[in-house]
Amino acid sequence: MAESIGIVGARGHVGADLIRLIAAHPRFKLAFVSSRELAGQKLADHIPQYAAKNPDLRYSSPSHEELPGLGADAVVLALPNGKAADCVVAFDAAGADPVLIDLSADYRFDDHWYYGLPELTRAGYHGQRRISNPGCYASAMQLAIAPLLNVLEGPVQCFGVSGYSGAGTSPSDKNDPEKLRDNLMPYALTGHMHEREVTRHLGHPVEFMPHVAAHFRGLTITSNLHLSRRFDREELVEHYHRHYDGEPMVRVLDEAPWVSRIAGKHHVDIGGFTMSEDGRRVVVVSTLDNLLKGAATQALQNLNVAFGFDELTGIEIDPA
């Protein structure tokens, strides 16, 4: 019997990708998909991949108070930052306890919620019903930095560039293709939410400088790490291979990964390991698709874990 999933905020880029993933999942079906803008329209008219499971499902626009009564086994909150709490309060008030997965930053600093970056936090999952999905940039930074966490010296500097899908669907300079044409747009150069998120969850200071570019999806992080001891390149690369051995969603490459090669893929690429002459500084490049491993795919990993399925059920990973 299929587990039922509700999505609040299904019109956005991430919501659409998550619907496509659920359409291909053998154990999940949609209970509802909410969108004020699309309410009443057939889901299959917008995302035809779901027609085989339920050609008649329509977008709806339930109030927060109506959400618990819709009976979903899990609810994914795909809402902008600052909007999830009203939904959570409604479930608490109704005494309902579905699995809740929040894709915003609202609960990433709340110890009562499991922080779901499986490759790094899997051991901390003990059946929690509230799961906070990490940020897209935050995922790429943590996966690049974590293998060297115990030999870092000083803050890590991370230069990030994302496609404009990361700015969501509400019109702004950061998702205006005309303003981004032949451009690289810096923003929130200190104190970005993901800077604070990574610093908290790694327990090590990170300085993050994000930019948005003219491509649609995919992000790259170039991390500058100072080390407390000397490494040679071969030793350091082997260290990364050992750390991620058995993690099919993380690939360690020799060369620096490209954004154009990660778009539409579910995994993370880490590579380009470049050492200083003294062996105590390394620059590492990590890439992921901000809408998939940075959001929807990671949410599906967390749903799989929450329901006791294999973590990669429904996730088609390209051969290495």
Residues catalogued as catalytic? 136
Q: Are 185 and 224 in contact (CB under 8 A)?
A: no
- What residues form DSSP beta bridges with 268? 250, 288
User: Cα–Cα distance between 114 and 133 in angstroms, integer?
Assistant: 9
User: Cα–Cα distance between 137 and 210 in angstroms, integer?
Assistant: 9
Q: Are 168 and 176 in contact (CB under 8 A)?
A: no
Sign of CA dihedral 14, 50, 26, 264: negative
CA 259-262-187 angle, 5° bins = 40
DSSP-derived 3-state class of residue 168: coil
DSSP-derived 3-state class of residue 256: coil
- What residues form DSSP beta bridges with 209? 159
In which element (H, E) is residue 74 found? strand 74-77
Q: Which of 157, 183, 317 is nearest to 251 (CA)?
A: 317
